[in-house]
């Protein structure tokens, strides 16, 4: 299939591009102007590279022309800061995405696969693990914009039959993730441990998250592309949570280095426990994570040491 990956030059998108090429698909990547091609340098001669503005309808129209499937991985905001400007969040994520869906429909795209958020669309969990039928009450604008896009995809499916899949992804980590960034506790903690730098944790480290290696996320995207069944929304996680303190113990086992940790006052908006129920993805997509957290961290550590 001819596949467009919006945001394909980054951490998640570059791994997805690798997997699509390995599966025999052709790949076109859409990125903002001036974006580094470092993460896809090894496949640059095998893909199409398109630069443009996600908010520009003409750029998006050009990008989707001739495509069979579109993978939407772009987000202009992060969960933590999204509440500071919900209007910006809407104008730069929801509005352009509705334009994308419309352009895809007009161009005859067969399927859209959207990277949603298993960590924010549900809000404070009533129970764990969290299934797809759990109430959705996001506590941040980021989660609301993800959920809104899910609803527009469902609308276009109902109106025009445009097929789609939503992957509510947990906490991905792995090679090519920015170890100095604001996302990816597993990668950041691992990097700082290897460098002998201090790790700062809000609270006592008992917060539990669902960590998943990026290779398993990429495989889930491929399974979603191939899926022909009746479901549209899937949780994609490891299905087993680790507290931040437990994560640090695994990092120490993998590296042989005891992390330097500083605990600070907890944040009121942090959900105490978020673990996804992945039974629907197992049953419908035939997908399940292959790498243990330990093995995923070992692979990431080897990459960071290069």
d(CA 177, CA 191): 11
d(CA 52, CA 49): 10
Q: Are 208 and 278 in contact (CB under 8 A)?
A: no
Answer yes or no: 160 catalytic. Answer: no
Sole residue written with tokens 């030059």: 9
Choosing from 122, 142, 191, 227, the catalytic residue is: 142
Tokens of 117: 């958020």
Please return the burial class of 51, using the count of CB atoms within 10 Å of its CB with bins 0-12, 13-18 and 19+.
Answer: middle
What is the set of active-site residues?
Answer: 142
């Amino acid at each position: 299939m001819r596949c467009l990956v919006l945001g394909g030059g980054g951490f998640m998108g570059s791994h997805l591009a690798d997997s699509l090429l390995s599966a025999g698909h052709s790949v076109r990547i859409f990125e903002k102007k001036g974006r580094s091609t470092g993460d896809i340098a090894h496949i640059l001669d095998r893909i199409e590279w398109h630069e443009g503005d996600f908010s520009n309808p003409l750029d998006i129209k050009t990008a989707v022309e001739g495509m069979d499937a579109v993978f939407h991985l772009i987000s202009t905001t992060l969960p933590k800061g999204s509440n500071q400007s919900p209007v910006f969040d809407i104008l730069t994520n929801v509005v352009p995405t509705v334009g994308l869906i419309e352009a895809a429909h007009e161009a005859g795209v067969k399927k859209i696969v959207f990277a949603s958020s298993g960590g924010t669309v549900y809000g404070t969990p009533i129970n764990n693990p969290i299934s797809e039928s759990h109430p959705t009450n996001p506590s941040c604008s980021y989660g609301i914009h993800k959920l809104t896009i899910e609803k527009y995809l469902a609308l276009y499916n109902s109106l025009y039959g445009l097929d789609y899949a939503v992957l509510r992804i947990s906490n991905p980590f792995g090679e090519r993730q920015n170890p100095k960034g604001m996302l990816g506790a597993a990668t950041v903690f691992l990097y700082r441990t290897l460098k002998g730098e201090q790790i700062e944790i809000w609270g006592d480290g008992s917060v539990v998250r669902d960590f998943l290696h990026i290779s398993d996320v990429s495989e889930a995207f491929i399974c979603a592309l191939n899926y022909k069944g009746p479901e549209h929304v899937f949780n994609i996680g490891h299905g087993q949570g680790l507290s931040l303190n437990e994560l640090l113990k695994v990092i120490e086992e993998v590296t042989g280095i005891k992390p330097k940790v500083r605990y600070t006052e907890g944040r009121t908006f942090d959900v105490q426990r978020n673990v996804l129920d992945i039974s629907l993805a197992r049953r419908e997509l035939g997908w399940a994570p292959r790498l243990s957290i330990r093995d995923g961290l070992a692979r990431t550590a080897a990459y960071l040491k290069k």
